[in-house]
Structure 1
Amino acid sequence: MHYSLSPTLLNKPIKIALIGAGGSGSQIATELFQMDSLLRQLSNQAVYIDLTLFDGDEVSIFNVGRQCFYMGDVGQNKADVLINRFNSFGGTEWKSQPKYFEPSPQLINDYHLIITAVDKAEFRVKLGQHFAEHEQRSEMLWLDVGNGKHDGQVVCGHATPNVHSPVRLPNVYDLYGSMLEQVDDNKEDQPSCSTEMALQKQDFGVNRGVAAQATQLIWQLLRYTKIEHHGAIVDVLGASVQPMKIDPQVWAVYGYEVKQ
């Protein structure tokens, strides 16, 4: 099976909300900037990325080298730093929101794609429940990225239960909701007080590997209008990428049943 991008999203600017500007988020934002340039050239400025970046954190010295920040960025808000960089040197008109994201009723009308690059399971549960309560039909996609020490995963699915598309892609909450609800963020998200400690939790290159798979899905959709898989499990230590097929039998393994 494959999923084709909704005709309503073809040949037009794509509004994206990127939540999180840390290891994966800053890498995704950088690749989206490169993608935006290519899309503009290919479409004679008709197709481009309209990005809004959300993050309430400031750059710390331990982010330098692991994330897309420099020593001169330390102490500044992550979203502001990246957006100012792209707008100043790349000619974009992207927007920064130097705050933590809170879902709102108009969310599905404001964006075509939402990307979550956060390290809190509780946030994914909250957002998944928010989307699950919407009865309005929508083609909005939710692309989630998550990381471990040497590995990570990407899941792209429809945000809301009701869609116009003949194929509804399950999102990360649909597939992993019960598992996410059992995660204790207080144990998982201990602050790093050194670069060595940060690398013990997440090794070099994991963010880049996961971001590459996430942005490749976006590129396939915007450039070729369809995807053959809607996620991947990435293992940088084992040098492997396992695609998540668009297949109800695969989804059933995670407890997700396709509604007839």
Structure 2
Amino acid sequence: MKTTEKKRVHFTDNYLINPTNPIEINLIGAGGTGSKVLTALMEMNHSLNELGHAGLFVRLWDDDIITQANLGRQRFADCETGLYKSVALINRVNRFSGTNWKAETAKFEKTPLGQLPENASATIFISCVDNVKSRFEIAGMLSELNNGRFYHNKPKYWLDFGNSQHTGQVILSTAQKIRQPDSEKYETVANMPSVTEEFGELLRASETEDHTPSCSLAEALQKQDLFINATLVQMGSSLLWSLFRNGLTENRGFFLNLKDFRSQPIKV
């Protein structure tokens, strides 16, 4: 008799489904991707509140200043040039939706003495960074936050966005083992590997790419196509939304090629 193979899924950590307080999120990077992820989180927060959920509390990390090259492709206006990206975005969101989210005008990295930054802990980490070094630093800090010395807000998930000019990927991983329910219907998966665990060698191989700031929008568009960030954000945010709304996921990310409109899911 042929046995049917069970579908592999990951069930969302219970705390995300029914929290007592808003879910704390560290959003790292406020550029072409991060500025749009913040808008998606604002929409998600409102929707969760309407469904009786405690919603989200976001802390946005970025030490960059808004320049003329950021206008058009990123969520900034001409009158905001010279301001910190994180401050401009968070102030706008708070005014628009009445939230009390916070801006950090610093990189999400350890201090010169090797200490974790203040307010480093959160339940969900979302990275929208453009270099490999930052991803490995985030991975190291997540490991440190989960090593037993920290009890408040232990990290549970890491959602990483990355892209080149026409292609990109979003990877959802678990920052710790997530307890799974017993299931006769599904094969449950408690651990999902991070982008640095699974694609570490590929990331290091791509480290030679140029990450110097662009002087104009035209120059920026040579590095990243106009809609690659927005497309990744909508699809990646939908993956995060499914964790809250459906309580499980059978996909832990995807690869996207916007040049020929192909998307390939990454199964749990």
Equivalent AA in structure 2 for residue 128 of structure 1 = A
Spell out, residue by residue over 1:113-163, the C-alpha distance to the aligned partner (whole angstroms, 9 max, x if none): 000000010111222234346544966101000011011100010124x55
Correspondence 1:131 to 2:138? no
Q: Distance in 1 between matches of 2:193 and 2:116?
A: 21
Alignment-derived partner of residue 173 in structure 1: 196
Spell out, residue by residue over 1:171-208, the C-alpha distance to the aligned partner (whole angstroms, 9 max, x if none): 111111122234435x4202212221110110110000
Alignment-derived partner of residue 253 in structure 1: none
Residue pair 1:139, 1:163 contacting (<8 A) in 2 also? no
Q: Distance in 1 between matches of 2:119 and 2:87?
A: 24
Q: 1:206 aligns with which of 220, 228, 235?
A: 228
Q: 1:79 aligns with which of 80, 86, 89?
A: 86
RMSD of aligned alpha carbons: 2.2
Alignment-derived partner of residue 258 in structure 1: none
Q: Distance in 2 between matches of 1:159 and 1:178?
A: 20
Secondary structure (helix, strand or coil) at the match of 1:62 reads helix
Secondary structure (helix, strand or coil) at the match of 2:200 reads helix
Residue pair 2:27, 2:59 contacting (<8 A) in 1 also? yes
Q: 2:162 aligns with which of 134, 146, 150?
A: 146
Equivalent AA in structure 2 for residue 59 of structure 1 = I
Alignment-derived partner of residue 171 in structure 2: 155
Residue correspondence of structure 1 range 239-250 to structure 2 within 5 A:
239-246=261-268
Alignment-derived partner of residue 61 in structure 1: 68
Q: Distance in 2 between matches of 1:21 and 1:108?
A: 17
**In structure 2, do the counterparts of structure 1 residues 130 and 110 end up closer, same or farther at CA, with 3 Å as the change threshold?**
closer
User: How many angstroms does 1:167 deviate by?
Assistant: 1.7
Q: Distance in 2 between matches of 1:245 and 1:181?
A: 24
Q: Distance in 2 between matches of 1:125 and 1:111?
A: 18
Q: Distance in 2 between matches of 1:14 and 1:223?
A: 14
Q: 2:99 aligns with which of 83, 88, 92?
A: 92
**In structure 2, do the counterparts of structure 1 residues 223 and 113 end up closer, same or farther at CA, with 3 Å as the change threshold?**
same
Q: 1:17 aligns with which of 26, 34, 40?
A: 26
**Greater percentage in helix:** 1
**In structure 2, do the counterparts of structure 1 residues 71 and 220 end up closer, same or farther at CA, with 3 Å as the change threshold?**
same
Listed as ranges, the gaps of 5+ residues in structure 1 are: 247-260
User: How many angstroms does 1:168 deviate by?
Assistant: 0.3
**In structure 2, do the counterparts of structure 1 residues 8 and 107 end up closer, same or farther at CA, with 3 Å as the change threshold?**
farther
Residue pair 2:122, 2:155 contacting (<8 A) in 1 also? no
Q: TM-score, normalised by structure 2?
A: 0.84
Listed as ranges, the gaps of 5+ residues in structure 2 are: 1-7, 181-188
User: How many angstroms does 1:164 deviate by?
Assistant: 3.8
State the structure with bigger RCO (CA 8 A, min sep 6), 1 or 2.
2
Q: Distance in 1 between matches of 2:217 and 2:15?
A: 45
Flag the structure with larger Rg.
2
Alignment-derived partner of residue 221 in structure 1: 243
Q: Distance in 1 between matches of 2:155 and 2:15?
A: 9
Q: 2:130 aligns with which of 116, 119, 134?
A: 119
Residue pair 2:32, 2:73 contacting (<8 A) in 1 also? yes
Secondary structure (helix, strand or coil) at the match of 2:137 reads helix
Residue pair 1:6, 1:139 contacting (<8 A) in 2 also? no
Residue pair 2:12, 2:243 contacting (<8 A) in 1 also? yes
Residue pair 1:125, 1:181 contacting (<8 A) in 2 also? no
Q: TM-score, normalised by structure 1?
A: 0.86
